[in-house]
Amino acid sequence: MSDCICFDEHPQEECGIIGIFAPHEDVARMAFFGLFALQHRGQEAAGIAVADGKTINLHKDVGLVSQVFNPQNLATMPGDYAIGHTRYSTTGSPHSRNAQPFLIETRHGPVAVAHNGNLVNAYELRQDLLRTGTGLSSTSDSEVLTMMLAGSEGATWEERLAQIMPRWVGAYSLVILVRDCVYAVRDPWGFRPLSVGLLPGGGHAVASESGALQTLGCVAIREVKPGEIVSLSNTALKVMQGMPPAKKPALCTFEHIYFSRPDSIWDGRTVHSVRQRLGRELARESAVAADVVIPTPDSGIPAAIGYAAASGIPYTDGFIKNRYIGRTFIEPTDSLRKQGIALKFNVVQENILNKRVVLIDDSIVRGNTTQALVGLLLKAGAREVHLRITCPSIRFPCYMGVDMGSYDELIAHRMSVEEITRHVGCHSLHFLSLEGMMRAIDSETGYCNACFTGDYPVQVEGRHAKTGFENGIA
């Protein structure tokens, strides 16, 4: 199956993970619906592993969750324990061999691992494994995690995890499946989200976002704390501190800005309300005379509502989004390809004709899509387009599990605000200040803002591209 076409230049989602212990339930089907709720976090591949107390069955492939799974293959996966993964690649290419979960046999029995994040020391760890003669079947840092866990010392899986976690530097939220338990692990910096909840029929579930747990009917939902190891099994929920939390937490700001579903909770804050406050901060920082405020769907909608409320400028829809065109695996014809972004967005002309428009978007990465959106509005008859972005300019790559591109690909690394304004063709442009963004999040510290500031919470010098393992680096 070929890679899906993409008409989106936003920072790409990391991955979505889910883990379930639900006695006497169809956990494979539950995992399927949990992954469906996390589909926005990755559309390249999906996989589910299920344990019945004796063995682990795995099914995974390239494609969307609905393309990889059907009633027939889910029916072949009985058991009380399950983990699942939906992937956007950050280390390793979008190839079937990099699909997760990874399942291996160990001296302690089978173990399957699904990972959201990115290890910044993956190159060194991979080299260590290869020097010991360990065979690797993929180019993903997630397999490196799996093989290191398999070789770790300890009487229990919790002990083995606690023993190996200090060697992993970077972002990792994990779900781990053995014969009779699901483990959830979060790195000590807390980069990537992970929440756990109580299932109504007994048992527990853990997922990248609280919204997926609500889909399964979970109650008493709380976030897995940085450095924690949570065990889901017949002995009820068990929590231990695998590593002390980092002195300076580094939660990903982009979960609030773009990645998470609006109904999810991140760091105790509802994402939708944070995005509305981002819009309000934008209105306070960058007032402009205009007739309408419109969002770039979908992440721009709450911020546009907030901007409109704070500015008094009416909110309306300017774009209608075809939600599936970017996820089709059928390549467009040459003539359709020239339509580019118009395949994904249609302008509601009567809402913007002869009007001064404030366009709210969450970010600008490469600038090409933004330029096309501004062009669509002007072509449809907008008199002016004033672009407002709900975060500071992205000038530095992310090494913690978000595919933002390299320095050369980041338009704000190469151009000033004035140059970007001319490049995208808008009448004015304002990026929300770092201070305004953190006011909206209602926190001065505890977040990773390295893509804006270049101040990385862990050492990242000499790191490699996501396909570096395939290009002869290791």
Enter the tokens of residue 461. 């010098």
- Give a yes or no: residue 3 inside a domain: no
212 and 303 together in one domain: no
160 and 287 together in one domain: no
Catalytically annotated residues: 15
With bands split at pLDDT 50, 70 and 90, how would you rate the model's confidence at 5?
very low
231: domain CATH number is 3.60.20.10
Unique residue bearing structure tokens 């304002």:
430
Enter the tokens of residue 74. 């889910």
pLDDT at 3: 39
> In this model, does residue 93 exceed pLDDT 70?
no
pLDDT at 467: 45
- Within 8 A by CB and 6+ apart from 444, the residues are 438
- Give a yes or no: residue 457 inside a domain: no
361: domain CATH number is 3.40.50.2020
Candidates 423, 413, 421, 404; CA nearest to 453 is 413
303 and 415 together in one domain: yes
pLDDT at 140: 82
Boundary residue ending a domain (250, 280, 304): 250
296 and 236 together in one domain: no
pLDDT at 273: 97
335 and 226 together in one domain: no
Which stretch of 146-160, 182-196, 317-331, 362-376 has the lowest confidence by average pLDDT? 317-331
429 and 371 together in one domain: yes
pLDDT at 6: 45
Check if the beta carbon of residue 284 is closer than 8 Å to that of residue 380. no
- The terminus-to-terminus CA distance of the chain in angstroms comes to 26
User: What domain range includes position 208?
Assistant: 15-250
Q: What is the mean pLDDT of residues 167-185?
A: 97
- Give a yes or no: residue 461 inside a domain: no
The percentage of the chain sitting over the pLDDT mark of 90, rounded to a whole number, equals 79
Domains in the chain, number: 2
Cα(278)–Cα(307) distance, integer angstroms? 8
147 and 29 together in one domain: yes
